[in-house]
Amino acid sequence: MSDVVLVSVDGPIARITINRPEKLNALNSSVVAALSKAFSDLEENANVRVAILAGAGEKAFAAGADIAEMADYGTEQARHFARNGHMLGERIEHARFPVIARVQGFALGGGCELAMACDLIYAGEKARFGQPEVALGVIPGFGGTQRLARRVGVGKCRELVFRGHIIDGAEAERIRLVDGLFTQDELVAKVDEIALQLAAHAPIAVSQAKRVMRAGHDVPLPVANELEVQAFGLCFGTEDQKTGMRAFVVDPKAPRKFAGK
């Protein structure tokens, strides 16, 4: 694994860290490629049930795409870079396990887009979010014009993209860009706690719920509902469903251990 992205697995929890703190974890082509490989490799690890994506240091999740690398791009180079960023976002969205973005510090431009590709975003009180690309003569290129609208609504997306201004964690939580806001001291422990809660649930059920929510978002409601029906039925062919429901009948409060089968 490249040293610009660090990966560790502790039981069911994978941790992926963008490791360029001296550059505020800016996303260059090497980082994008290394992140894509990290998620591809984790997909093959059956023990992984949740992943936490973070940036090294305290100043940034990812302050954006690496402007120094992009400054001299031509049209086709820029399109290639954007496509790779979109492929990374899709890889995260299609991962069989939930991915949590843990944001402390800046998540701007490509960093904000990377966080939005994750299933959940939790931030520290010093976090800052924004899509300031128009101030540099470009537009968001890693999905910002699309995922931001889906998270916060088209109107707020237009305001953030057109004005290019940066918002704090409290405002990001208010508009539902962020799913939860914690103090800087609490952030790591709280996200670990949430990750463990997710990992304790039946992994096939969680994976199917993620798949159906993703696939059903942009199709007509009857089609989306049928996706849910099919996935609901599939769950009843798993050992996890038998374990969970039979244990609940005996003692609703008893802890349950799911094998992922």
Please say if 173 is a catalytic residue: no
- 69 residue type, one letter: E
Query: From the candidates 113, 125, 226, 228, which is the catalytic residue?
Result: 113
Query: From the candidates 58, 133, 171, 193, which is the catalytic residue?
Result: 133
Q: Do 103 and 123 contact (CB within 8 A), yes or no? A: yes
Please say if 193 is a catalytic residue: no
**24 torsion bin: left (phi>0), alpha (psi -120 to 50), beta (else):** left
Residues labelled as active-site residues: 113, 133
